Chains A and B, each alone.
Chain A
Amino acid sequence: MTAETEAPQAPELGRARLRKEDARLVTGQTNWTDNIVLPGMLHMAFLRSPYAHARITSVDVSAARQLPGVIAAFSGADFAGEQGSLPCAWPVTADIVIPNHPPMAVDEVRYVGEAVAVVVARDRYTAADAVEAIEIDYEPLPPVLDIRTALDEGAPKVHPQGNKSYEWPFANGDIEAAFRDAPVVLERTYRQQRLIPSAMEPRAVVATCVADEVTLWSATQIPHVLRFALAAFFGIPEQNIRVIAPDVGGGFGSKLQVTAEEVLAVLVARRLGRPVKWTESRSEGNMTVHHGRDQWQRIRIAADSDGRLRGLDVDLLADMGAYLMLVTPGVPLLGAFMFPAIYKMDAYSFKCTGVFTTKMPTDAYRGAGRPEATFAIERIMDELAAELRMDPLEIRERNWIKHEEFPYTTIATLQYDSGNYEAATAKAKELFGYDELRKEQAERNSRGDPVRLGIGVSTFTEMCGLAPSRVLGSLSYGAGGWEHASIRMLPTGKVEVVTGSSAHGQGHETAWSQIVADQLGVPFEDIRVLHGDTQVSPKGMDTYGSRSLAVGGLALVSACDKVVEKARVIAAGMLEASADDLEWSHGRFSVRGDPDASKTIQEIALVTFAAHSLPDGVEPSLDSDATYDPDNFSFPHGTHLCATEVDTETGMVTIRSYVAVDDVGKVVNPLIVEGQVHGGIAQGIAQALYEEAVYDDAGNLLTTTLADYLVPSAADLPSYVTSRTESPAGNRLGVKGVGEAGTIASTPAVVNAIIDALRPLGVQDITMPCSPERVWRAIQTARENEGAS
């Protein structure tokens, strides 16, 4: 093997590599948790509360226990001594109320679907039958369903401590001065409806406890966090716990949780000494997978008459649901930093009040706090444009941070490291045909077309790459934000990459191979990426907050650096040269000035394995591990433009075109990035047009199935035009993250487009989801008001 015969391989970064993951997924050779069958495995089924709020007066599981095939049945009281409380890792204030949250209710239930008893049987059908035989009596208590009245004097209490969990304020600049004598002040109230994340794979758990060794397979995003939680909060020695996330079918934040069912599976397996499995049904999942969003946002802005922003004042009410789960109270706070978005202003004031209700707890759902904030600011920027008779893009340009002003410290105290809002907007306008569509809109408005054209703008940014550990500490988060990676150089020159970030559809196995291929100069095909098993990947902070690449990817680079440095010493020995005289390029060390004298990383790996002639004091290993803690968030941004046709006679909204120009920094794999953007946009459109978790007046969830909760199909969604601009982030790969961008951007783009279509008719706002009925009613109301005035 000589240098002359080999051309250096093309860089992997930026290549549209087809995914390594796909082979098993397109052929059905998958390993979902529900596929797992262990010898002697039993099946769990839960009895769940039919009441939003009730005292449990008696539970009798004896009849269920008598049924053939039933091995055991337990109520909450049977585990009262060991089930502890499900953890909340984010006590956002010193005086936050964190209620006790037993995995299985003992005395009182506080949402429909809360587990009250469990049956363990030979098969899932028998377990489901036996649940029906449990006798349980409740004394109903008043439900608490509306966060706007939950803090009223005399309101029924969800918990003895009351309905307020916390109040979290933030202020920067002189907000009173900003609003005093401001030529324009606007105030709006926006509703962020409650959403159900709806990953396609329902949650599933398999647990074993052999002697004192616990193994838990779970459809989770967070095997490492889950292992830590089982140890820290449920008293299982950490060294005895192995958590495995096999193939996981989507998460979107919903599997960023320590769930009642995971904990109970472990406790039941330990109690019975047999493996147990639980797989939720979709209707069970809609009730009991944590929900997302659910806020009331009061937002005020003050501006000069030329449209320059002076101040922004935000008052949030956030529905916590019945309990605080893993990061429930922190989700709205991620939004706190994003309300000022890409805009400059003199002052900003924010307050969030977390409120308990008798509903399923809320927690992270794609974007987690940032879509809510982005929606509100992007909606009111459109209102400001309308007020001042300016184009929505013009008002944004007047206020956004200019590309030459980066790095820029925002009024929310974030330091944006890079961005170019002008470039993304210019590209989006061109792809969209902005000026032509505006002309068509004016023409249709002037002739009173019953189908109105609307143009929606969203110039968003987000903070992701969660997160610098020190910042998390300052926000009282219970853990760090680092990520871990290790490299194992195998004797034959192949590479195993271990990542602490846990993939569930993102394509880590492919993208990580590309990064390592470039760093170590080994072929893409020679790399295998391992993840999602705490025994294989011992350290990690897992996957959420668009952090995998921006944090985990950087950990990979550090780990590769260490391999190269170790290899350098061994190569120096092999080449009888000084390590300082070696040049590293494309997987090969060459002696400076003597290109024929060189060794490949594969040759070095074999020599290291043999260890016959290593320099004195050098360990026979090239393996490395590294932990990377980012020193800043990353700030993807972009301009999304949406054109809607709104039929004023039926209220039907049709998306005619959608253009997304995203700046996610350097791109490892454009195919994967584009896919993330598509899926993100779809979920944001779904919030704008289709989805809402609806509870009735008694606190029953009405949207328990996919027939009622309208996850859109291909027929409900448009085709997207996507493109990119690139302002590299300040990290070594220049990457920012892409998982949440589409979802954050698209909801306001769509709603702004609908309002833009109907503003000439007097419509200022429509509560999401903008169903045909709501759109039609908004038009009727506007017409009535018009007639009355």
Chain B
Amino acid sequence: MMTWIKLAVRNLFRNRRRSLFTILAISLGFAAVNVLGGFTDYIFSNLENSYIHVQANGHLTIFKPGFLKEGKLDPTRYLLDEDSTKAIKEILHRYPEVLVVTPQLHISGLLSNGKVSTIFIASGRIPSDIRTINSYSRGLASKFELFTGKPLEDDIVYGVGLSRGLAEQLNLDLGVTAVAMAPTVSGQVNALDAQVFQLFTSPIEALDDKFMLVPLKFAQSLYDTTSVDRITVLLENTAQTEPVRRRLAQDFATRGLSLEIKSWNELSTFYVKVKQMFDIIFLFTFLIVFTIVVMSVINTVSMAIMERTREIGTLRALGLKRGGIVVLFAIESLMLGLFGSFLGVILTLLTWSGIAFFKPTWVPPMITGRVPLEIYLVPEYMVYSVLLLGVLSLMAATLPARKAAKMQIVSALGHT
């Protein structure tokens, strides 16, 4: 086999320019796929981190079954009372993977500055738990101030955070007091004073004119309840999400608790949409690369066959079987794929090093400041790319090589 590999490599260098262009096409395709893959990984990783840690939604959220569909119509029916919350916490605290368990109550109502009012949607949380979840944040998001003003406190019930759009709409600034109104769980209207402790940019653009962050006690006081509507669970890492969810579902069932457990990616519609978009972009890029590689290799192998028809005839006359001819060109093609991949790895590393060195910045959607642009090196993508390009090169060579192998020996020998 070494003889044929040696012959294949030497044949590649016979028409250096043509082989070089094919290798370049493969390597550029390799680099394009891997740089885009590295960029999407950076985006996905930061979106994941943003949803789980920065927005403090955790990896898992526990609801009463049907809350997400019917919860708005009949909130009291879907609230988790203190006993249920305690039972759930007890179960969760037995899981070594669980870092934080924190209840939340999402509310809605009217916010007034004394002259005009507007609707709000608020997330009632325990501020100290949220800070703990935030502290596990990594990557880009951990480098940014999430709000202006001061942090919310567990025991300062009236201190709230407003999205910038909402504050602008009601002309509310830091330190100003407003009034939040909402119906209680029993249907009466309730109102509470709220002082603006902080201003932040809403994670969802559509909610920027109505989103608030309030301490859990504020939300419970306004709704006049001690219940919550969800329990957020932070795990040690994302990979534990599904295994823990499966075990939790079993544990809840054993204890007779009817609960619904949703994972972070099921609840983060933005993450899912961005992922779908990038998946489509990646697919298109891959198809373009696929086409370029296949066409380049077919062209190179076909030209080589045409130029070396007499050699094919000679090798067949010397006793090389048809399969041997296919193998010979397949090796040449595989070598093109492997050399191209090798150069592609170098190009990817150069791009990665260039970005790491020059540190370019950009403004991603829904982030107010410029952030460093990063590309992650993903060895798995590189290994898959090498394998895939190898297989593609082999496949691309098969058709012309089979045609070459079927040539009549006499015609091949007489080819000029």
A and B pair up: no
Give me the interface of A with B, judged by CB distance under 8 Å: none
